[in-house]
Structure 1
Amino acid sequence: MTGSLKRFDEWLNRELEQCARDAGEDVNTYVARAVASKMVADRRLAESVAVASLMEHLSASGVFAGTDMPSVSTVIADPDRLRALYATGLLDSPPEELYDRITRAAADALDAPHALVSLVDVDRQFFKSASGMDLSKPEERQTPLDRSLCQYAVANGEALVLEDARLDPVFQHHPAVQDGTVVAYLGIPLTDHDGNSIGTLCVYDDKPRLWGTGHVQVLSDLAGIAAERIFGPGNSQAR
């Protein structure tokens, strides 16, 4: 394959070539990544134990390799931020109905299949609560930090809005975007009165979404409720 697919007509092949150019890739790379994303999605739907092995091989083969994401490690590893996070006592804590109500409300209000209260540690992302995800097993309640989009909202201290991350020049290279887990994302940092963001309330979808100011406001209001629960009344802000 040098720039066309046999079962595509001339018009479809031109569109394929244009889509690959828009993504900054050649056709072979673009098609390989699209097929790999479909393979991962199908394995996840089948709840196959082979997903981890598949992801490992795809990464090792370079299918999901791209420009490195910008490093935010200085902010994430900031001692004051980590002290604020650890002081909450929420890392590795069991689910609580109050936070589950918030994630359910966020998913319902924004008509999103997934919502999370995520806490960003120095080397991992821990899910205090989730809607649309099964957190019944301990290993399902966290991911390595390189799988986290929330770390970028935390590092910037402001809402992260991605309507189609596959088209974003930076976030199209994120592992969770490349494997099709996240296409649209909206995350609001959970920030204490000293300006330390410890995590987010976020929603995401595996399809593009148009996030309006109303969506941002609703999620910010719900994040404010979560932050007040974490840091105490009058001592919190959700940015």
Structure 2
Amino acid sequence: MRYGPAGRLLLTPVDGEAPERVRRLRELGFGDRPDPVFDEFAHRAARATRAPYGMVNFIDENRQFFAGLHTPAGTHSGSDLSTSAAAAAARGTGRVLSRDRGFCPHVIVRRKALVLEDVCDYPRFAGNPVVDEIGVRSYLGAPLIDRAGIALGTICVVDTEPRPWGRAGLETIKSLAGELVERIHRREDGAI
């Protein structure tokens, strides 16, 4: 575990790849606007895992942007996640989330899938602001690693209840990540 200068547990991992990721995201034209293809992938991830929320998330040095988003209400707004949509909107919840919130920054740095059936079982993750502020209790995500070897972002699903994702959930999210990366490559090559 990493601790900061004051001896506090660092909840957000250090991300040395961020500048190169930002350059690559700009090159691809990702990370600053919603995309219907990514919304569809978020929907597929949620449907395949029976999770209420799905996201395709691109991360820069300071923030996360949900280029793809699925919510139960179908509004494509993360504000549905909170019991108080007005309070969530006031916190800036929607398609943008600060880099120090959530679990996708961990997936990016780890460069491998992360399965949290109950985030409260893990001290490092239980203290994340999304647990109390938004109500996230379980998370399943995989990195989107492109042909240049850069972890561009994640595809993930979350629930407000603990979830036994199991091996099937892990294999599903990893498969969707691979499929989405291939689609990104085809788009970059002009094949779609």
Q: Where does structure 1 lack aligned partners over 5 or more consecutive residues?
A: 1-66
2:140 equivalent to 1:199: no
Residue in structure 2 matched with residue 116 of structure 1 by the alignment: 55
1-structure distance, mates of 2:178, 2:41? 10
Aligned partner of 2:14 among 67, 70, 73: 73
Q: What per-residue deviation string (whole Å, max 9, x for no partner) do you get for residues 84-119 of structure 1?
A: 2222211222332x2222111111111100000011
Residue in structure 2 matched with residue 161 of structure 1 by the alignment: 115
Q: Where does structure 2 lack aligned partners over 5 or more consecutive residues?
A: 1-7, 80-91
Q: Which has the higher contact order (CA 8 A, sep 6+)?
A: 2
Aligned partner of 1:88 among 15, 18, 28: 28
2-structure distance, mates of 1:70, 1:183? 16
Partners of 1:165 and 1:183 within 8 A in 2: yes
2:167 equivalent to 1:213: yes
**Residue identity in the other structure for 2:161:** K
Residue in structure 2 matched with residue 43 of structure 1 by the alignment: none
Q: Number of paired residues? A: 167
Structure 1 residue ranges (4+ consecutive) displaced by more than 6 angstroms after TM superposition: none
Aligned partner of 2:38 among 92, 99, 105: 99
Q: What per-residue deviation string (whole Å, max 9, x for no partner) do you get for residues 34-64 of structure 1?
A: xxxxxxxxxxxxxxxxxxxxxxxxxxxxxxx
**Residue identity in the other structure for 2:142:** I
Structure 1 residue 148: Cα displacement: 2.9
Partners of 2:130 and 2:136 within 8 A in 1: yes
SS at match of 2:35: coil
The structure with the larger Rg is 1
**Residue identity in the other structure for 2:27:** A
Structure 1 residues 86, 73: closer, same or farther in 2, change over 3 A?
farther
> Normalising by the residue count of structure 1, what TM-score does the alignment of the two structures yield?
0.63
SS at match of 1:75: coil
Aligned partner of 2:102 among 148, 151, 165: 148
2-structure distance, mates of 1:220, 1:74? 21
SS at match of 2:46: helix
SS at match of 1:146: coil
Structure 1 residue 120: Cα displacement: 0.7
For 1:22-61, list aligned pairs within 5 A.
Answer: none
Query: Aligned-pair RMSD on alpha carbons?
Result: 2.5
Structure 1 residue 230: Cα displacement: 1.7
Structure 1 residue 76: Cα displacement: 5.0
> Normalising by the residue count of structure 2, what TM-score does the alignment of the two structures yield?
0.77
